[in-house]
Chain A
Amino acid sequence: MKVLVPIKRVIDYNVKVRVKADNSGVDLANVKMAMNPFCEIAVEEAVRLKEKGVVSEIVAVSIGPKAAQEQLRTAMALGADRSILVETDEAVQPLGIAKALKAIVDEEKPDLVILGKQAIDDDNNQTGQMLAALAGMPQGTFASEVNVEEGKVKVTREVDGGLQTVELKLPAVVTTDLRLNEPRYASLPNIMKAKKKPLDNKTPADLGVDLTPRVTIEKVENPPERQAGIIVGSVDELVDKLKNEAKVI
């Protein structure tokens, strides 16, 4: 069976984010970029399914700037067989991405789409669900365990109250949570091999989709700063402060 793994190029999770002085956004100039961590988990899960013999082909796809091909090469170094870049310099938003992915799904006809539950830049947590709706597929979001069976997939989901398991008919969409797996690092030989794997370039026009943003960003600001308080010397002092100063116990 075939798996499609959509990935996103984002600011590296170790980078301290700086809001631009003109409040137009976050400063991305000369900042280290990387594959979104939840997308790495998605790639890893697909690779593990291939290693188990459940999956025969992994196709990675990204919708974004030309530079996103770096992340697609990384996905291929980790085990994706080939990739597709839908190139656009537009500030893409989840609904547009989901429409582009729906067009790719129509072409590729994957049995399973595995993607990150959210990107660590916009924190939207929408794309997988929207793709599932547009493609008429069931969804297993926030997955901590994925078991593919004949014609279906069982997904254990991390929900507010604990864990929930659902059974989905294939084809289906799965979005990854943190504890699904621990992604591997790409080895140097695999990085070299990935350079020769096929990377197909497309445009939104090729797919016939409109990526025009529906939401405009009016401004981006720093969050209110929280000031450090005091260091207390003992548990007694702490209890006293909480009772008499903060009045919270």
Chain B
Amino acid sequence: MSVLVYAEHDNAALNKATLSVIAAAKEIGGDITVLVAGKGCGAVAEEAAKAEGVAKVLCADNDAYEHQLAENIGELVAEVAADYSHVLAAATTTGKNFAPRAAALLDVAQISEISDVVDADTFKRPIYAGNAIATVKCADAKKVITVRPTSFDPVAAEGGSASVESLDVVKDSGLSSFVGEELAKSDRPELASAEIVISGGRGMGNGDNFEILYKVADKLGAAVGASRAAVDAGFVPNDMQVGQTGKIVAPNLYVAVGISGAIQHLAGMKDSKVIVAINKDEEAPIFQVADYGLVADLFEAVPELDSKL
């Protein structure tokens, strides 16, 4: 067995989600190779080489891979996959974009968003927004898998000393091109990997009111998230959405403020270690999953919390 892990990065640094994917690869077993594709991504390859359990890093550095376009990455991965029994990527918007494309080119199934490795052919994954957990077995000779990063404890980022080889394979389909991006800029930790997350829902009333959450977040070193209702209402941008169709988070502490607790939202945060809910409606479903509930007006409770931290 041999596992190819696709590295998630921004051409400058390795995304922590990749360390969780490597952890899943270790559970499968066999040699682990990390594929870093990007432009000017040498530092990422060096970083990946230090991760625990990695035997080899392949670095495909080319203009065609700069923006992770699925058409090019899909073809690259499908070709490199020839030497491996398993291909793993993080279930992020990057992994979800190219991995099914690579699987189809290889004429194999993809197993999406696994949360557990049973054996080399058998995996667990949430279905129906996490309301059921399926154990699935794949008959294909090669397995293409996306991994839910929050379900696997990341391997150590340091200590390894894998070799880095440059990979001279250029796949440029010419079918798609990058036009631009609007990325959220924030000094706060990244939502998907933060130790503490504080999220606001429809009860926040408007986007300006999120300011009170930012204050608390900055005191706690927390990331700020939101429910789908708050994003749909235009309070905050989509990249803050926690839920089945947004980001899946599992921090040590999740504070839900003015969030009722729709199934859709719970699917994205119920694996958090400790959940706190602040809501004025004592009947809100969020209290059924909260370790600590506070029935209160958030506009009084949150500033008070801020003053007492």
Contacts and interface: CB of A to CB of B under 8 A. Distances in A.
A63 interface: no
Q: Which bucket holds chain A's interface residue count?
A: 35 or more
A26 B67 CA distance: 39
A188 interface: no
Interface string A143-187: 010000000001001111111111111001000011100000000
A15 B298 CA distance: 31
A29 interface: no
Interface stretch (B55-63, B97-105, B202-210): B97-105
A137 B176 CA distance: 9
Most buried by B among A120, A157, A214: A214
Nearest to B110: A126
Q: Which bucket holds chain B's interface residue count?
A: 35 or more
A128 B126 CA distance: 20
A164 B112 CA distance: 23
Interface in B164-209: 173-184, 192, 196
Contacts of A223: 126, 130-133
Contacts of A241: 292
A94 B109 CA distance: 8
Contacts of B111: 215
Nearest to A139: B70
Interface stretch (B19-27, B31-39, B41-49, B239-247): B239-247
B116 to A, nearest CB: 11
Contacts of A122: 127
Contact of A164 (B105, B122, B174, B178): B178
Nearest to B112: A124
Interface stretch (A73-81, A105-113, A190-198, A227-235): A227-235
B112 A123 contact: yes
A131 to B, nearest CB: 8
B52 interface: no
Contact of B287 (A139, A177, A228): A228
A124 B134 CA distance: 12
A133 B129 contact: no
B276 A238 contact: yes
A49 B22 CA distance: 43
B299 interface: no
Contacts of A129: 70, 74, 96-101, 104
B104 A134 contact: yes
B304 A235 contact: yes
Contacts of B220: 249
Interface in B202-237: 220, 228, 231-232, 237
Interface in A111-125: 117-118, 120-125
Given A120-B244, A163-B238, 12 more contacts: A11-B128, A121-B128, A125-B96, A126-B100, A129-B101, A133-B100, A142-B97, A163-B181, A178-B228, A230-B291, A231-B287, A231-B295
Interface of B: 67, 69-71, 74, 92-94, 96-105, 107-113, 122, 126-140, 173-184, 192, 196, 220, 228, 231-232, 237-239, 244-245, 247, 252-253, 270, 273-276, 282, 287-296, 301, 304-305, 308-309
5 contacts: A214-B138, A215-B109, A216-B139, A229-B293, A234-B294
